Amino acid sequence: MYWWSRFDAVEVDEDFALMAALGLKVVRVFLLWDDFQPEPASVDRAVLAHLVETADLAAKHHLVLDVTFFTGHMSGPNWAPRWMLTKDEHFPSPYFAWVRQVISRGTVVLHGNYLNMFNDPVALKAEQLLLRTVVGALKDHPAIYLWNLGNEPDLFAFPEDDAQGQDWTREMTRVVQEIDSIHPVTVGLHSADLYGNTGLRADRIFAETPVAVMHAYPMYCDWALGPLDPDFVPFMTALTAALCGKPVLMEEFGGCTSLPGHGSETWTWTGYDSERKQFMASEEAFAEYIRQVLPNIQAVGSTGAFIWCFADYAPELWAMPPCCDSWHERHFGLVRPDGSLKPHAEVLKQFAATGPKVSPIPDYARFPGLTGSDFYNQRLYEKLPAMYQQYLERRNRTHR
């Protein structure tokens, strides 16, 4: 969360070289909103230059970028631009009467609140400016792969209703495509957008974007078959494809690992003024999970799979947000803080070396008769545990 303000091109070059050596192809980068747009009417030119240099380095190593705007939510807190902060009593979402920990200028904002990115006129105008500036600077760059309009944006704010969420997506996609008609656009939806109606319905959002994506973690789902369930992520991929009628990129999956030499365990600590608890997989168990889940994601017709994330947080950042309150967020990387690789890095390398291709969606991963309208309007998401069991039964029959 601090790399744009502490940009080190040498470090980026080294990291990209390692990614390329592992056979990875696409890198997600997040435009921390306050760094890129410290004022609503301008974009920081120095930080934009860092992004252009990042793209140059990606191209050097034959990597491409998934550029994510309006960050926004990340790893627990919400990182609001300073100009969005407000002391008003209304909330960024009409659906919950609280906001997550708010960070701005790198520090916690006590009792923080901020403008709603989906409907506030100042925010909407600023969003369009950021899109036009960044896309205009990089639309012809060989390292651009995908423009992403937000990382799990319902965790930052809710639209007032389904129509507003769809209208926002349509308008922001239009802004991008007016400048760049070549590279696709998406919105980084996640499991919560399938667990209920957040105003960002998968069917309506991905009706407006060329690419559909999903983020999913069994470790955060109480009806998954354990925190390392290798069928949960493929199921969420398949369900999203059924709801939106197009193949899905699994844009984020992964898990947090315990310390080297430790077995799988559950950590408890105090964070955000309450007790926190999180399963931490042993490095070996997590490598086995990745070995199983990657071909399963491929088998349901996913157009790709992006693991979260490249590197653990360095210990010198553990006293800062998000690590100070979200201890598990320190340990999602495939690279340890000392630069050594966790076992699942080799699993990724071996899988990439097979040259995996996109598969047709198999019958067991289809949901005949299911529509997005029915799923959300009839609250079929309340039946997800049963739908998952039916999916597993179909899959098991196919693999007998």
325 occurs within a structural domain? no
Q: What is the pTM of this model?
A: 0.95
Q: How confident is the model at residue 106 (pLDDT cuts 50, 70, 90)?
A: confident
**Is residue 91 one of the residues assigned to a domain?**
yes
Q: Are 362 and 306 in contact (CB under 8 A)?
A: no
Q: Does the residue 335 lie in any domain?
A: no
Residue 364 phi, psi dihedral angles, 5° rounding:
-65, -20
pLDDT at 97: 47
- State the CATH number of the domain containing residue 96: 3.20.20.80
- pLDDT tens-place string over residues 324-336: 999 999 999 999 9
CB-side neighbour CA atoms (13 Å) of 127: 28
Per-residue pLDDT, 266: 97
Residue with tokens 């760049």: 180
The SS3 call for residue 354 is coil
Per the structure, how many domains does the chain have? 1
74 within a domain of the structure (yes/no): yes
Residue 263 included in any domain: no
pLDDT of residue 204: 98
Q: Is 262 a member of any domain?
A: no
What mean pLDDT, rounded, does the chain reach?
A: 95
In a domain, 203, yes or no: yes
Q: Helix axis angle, 121-138 relative to 45-60, nearest 10°?
A: 40
Q: Please report the pLDDT score of residue 109 as a whole number.
A: 84
Expressed as residue numbers, the domain containing 371 is 9-255+279-312+340-398
Distance, CA of 374 to CA of 370 (rounded, Å): 7
**For 74-98, how does the pLDDT look when each residue is reduced to its tens digit (9 = 90+)?**
888 889 999 999 876 555 554 444 5
Q: Would residue 365 count as lying in a domain?
A: yes
